[in-house]
Amino acid sequence: MGFQLGKLLVTLGIIIIAAGFLIMLGSRFSPLGLGRLPGDLAIKGQHWSLYFPIVTCLAISLVLTAIIWLISFFTRR
């Protein structure tokens, strides 16, 4: 069991690193427009600004949950 858990953690790590590199490339290379989805909050004041990508966070969470669920589903005995 320990070996399988190790393989799962390495696989998840690779997926997370790949996602990190895609996010670092920026929104101009992003096919989904992450960070600019409708529903992301952007508030600008005179001397400050606040940006909270709530819908982007929800979308990423949904995708990661689906990936983890699929891995779990296919590794069950």
Q: What is the pLDDT of residues 29-55, one digit of tens each?
A: 556 666 677 888 888 999 999 888 888
Mean model confidence pLDDT for the chain: 80
Give 60 or 2, the one with higher predicted confidence.
Answer: 60
Q: How confident is the model at residue 15 (pLDDT cuts 50, 70, 90)?
A: confident
pLDDT tier, 77 (very low <50, low <70, confident <90, very high otherwise) = low
- Cα 44 from Cα 63, distance rounded (Å): 30
Number of domains in the chain: 1
As beta bridge partners, residue 44 has: 49
Residue range of the domain that includes 35: 2-75
- With tokens 């529903």, the residue in question is 39
CA dihedral 67, 29, 54, 58 (to 10 degrees): -10
Determine the 3-state secondary structure of 41 from DSSP: strand
Determine what percent of the chain is predicted with pLDDT higher than 90: 10
Q: For residue 34, give both structure tokens.
A: 């992450």
